[in-house]
């Protein structure tokens, strides 16, 4: 086939105005959150004292840090969908949530006597935590990868990993509504572990699904 013929053909191909990947990514966030929320209601449900818990700083902090993670990773991911972006200029934003978490951990260490540190860290349901955060993150992750297939990520594995951070943040925020362990020590250990798993999964899937 001649290149001229190909060009003529490509110019004739206008099925619909090309849509930017950003739109698909936004849909993925909202639809993914809906799925995660539905799963929460169908399985664990929010803790019974949810309303009272909302009045406590530690409980609210879990939402702050997980949603901050999801939002900052999303900002970076928008860049990562572009072929000419190897490293996003905004990648420092990824440090926001870990930094906030670090500050909270330090404050917690001052606020809680040393004898209770281990107990706070181990918490009550770390198994639930490490299993359900990935479960709640699965919907958002799959949708986000689907959206990214409209993009052209320079580095598919890296884009997949960042998609995993977005999904992990969303999944963890919904899990937090159920979770009784509010100490930053618990969050820093088990939430981090679970989200790291989702991130790794994202990298693995991304390296396969996001090739173009």
The one among 30, 50, 95, 212 contacting other proteins by CB under 8 A: 212
**With respect to other proteins, which residue has the nearer C-beta, 78 or 178?**
78
**With respect to other proteins, which residue has the nearer C-beta, 2 or 127?**
2
Evaluate whether 173 touches 70 at the Cβ level (below 8 Å).
Answer: yes
Between CA 66 and CA 158, with CA 79 as vertex, the angle to 5 degrees is 70
Q: Is residue 1 at the binding interface for other proteins, with CB under 8 A as the rule? A: yes
Q: How far is the CB of 148 from other proteins (least distance, A)?
A: 10
Stretch that binds other proteins, among 36-44, 77-85, 172-180, 200-208 (CB under 8 A): 77-85
Q: How far is the CB of 178 from other proteins (least distance, A)?
A: 38
**With respect to other proteins, which residue has the nearer C-beta, 5 or 113?**
5
Number of neighbours of residue 49 by Cβ within 10 angstroms: 12
SS (H, E, C) the chain: CCHHHHHHHHHHCCCCCCCCHHHHHHHHHHHHHHHHHHHHHHCCCCCCCHHHHCCCHHHHHHHHHHHHHHHHHHHHHHHHCCCCCCCCCCHHHHHHHHHHHHHHHHHHHHHCCHHHHHHHHHCCCHHHHHHHHHHHHHHHHHHHHHHHCCCCCCCHHHHHHHHHHHHHHHHHHHHHHHCCCCCHHHHHHHHHHHHHHHHHHHHHHHHHHCCC
Within positions 82 to 111, which residues make up the interface with other proteins, using CB under 8 A?
82-84
**With respect to other proteins, which residue has the nearer C-beta, 21 or 32?**
21
Show the site string, 7-36: x = touches other proteins by CB under 8 A, - = not: xxxxxxxxx-xxxxx---------------
**With respect to other proteins, which residue has the nearer C-beta, 29 or 159?**
159
The one among 3, 51, 114, 127 contacting other proteins by CB under 8 A: 3
Q: Is residue 81 at the binding interface for other proteins, with CB under 8 A as the rule? A: yes
Show the site string, 133-162: x = touches other proteins by CB under 8 A, - = not: -----------------xxx-x--------
Binding site for other proteins (CB under 8 A): 1-15, 17-21, 81-84, 150-152, 154, 211-212
């Amino acid at each position: 086939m001649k290149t001229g013929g190909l060009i003529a053909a490509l110019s004739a191909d206008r099925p619909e105005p090309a849509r930017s990947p950003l739109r698909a990514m936004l849909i993925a966030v909202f639809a993914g959150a809906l799925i995660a929320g539905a799963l929460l209601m169908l399985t664990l449900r929010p803790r019974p004292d949810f309303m009272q818990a909302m009045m406590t700083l530690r409980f609210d902090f879990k939402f702050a840090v997980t949603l901050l993670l999801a939002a900052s990773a999303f900002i970076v991911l928008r860049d990562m969908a572009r072929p000419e972006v190897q490293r996003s200029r905004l990648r420092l934003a990824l440090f926001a949530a870990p930094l906030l978490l670090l500050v909270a951990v330090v404050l917690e260490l001052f606020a809680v006597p040393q004898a209770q540190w281990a107990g706070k860290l181990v918490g009550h349901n770390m198994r639930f935590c490490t299993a359900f955060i990935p479960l709640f993150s699965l919907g958002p992750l799959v949708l986000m990868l689907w959206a990214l297939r409209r993009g052209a990520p320079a580095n598919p594995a890296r884009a997949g990993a960042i998609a995993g951070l977005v999904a992990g943040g969303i999944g963890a925020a919904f899990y937090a509504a159920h979770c009784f362990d509010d100490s930053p020590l618990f969050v820093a250990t088990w939430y981090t572990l679970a989200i790291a798993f989702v991130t790794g999964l994202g990298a693995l899937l991304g390296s396969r699904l996001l090739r173009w």
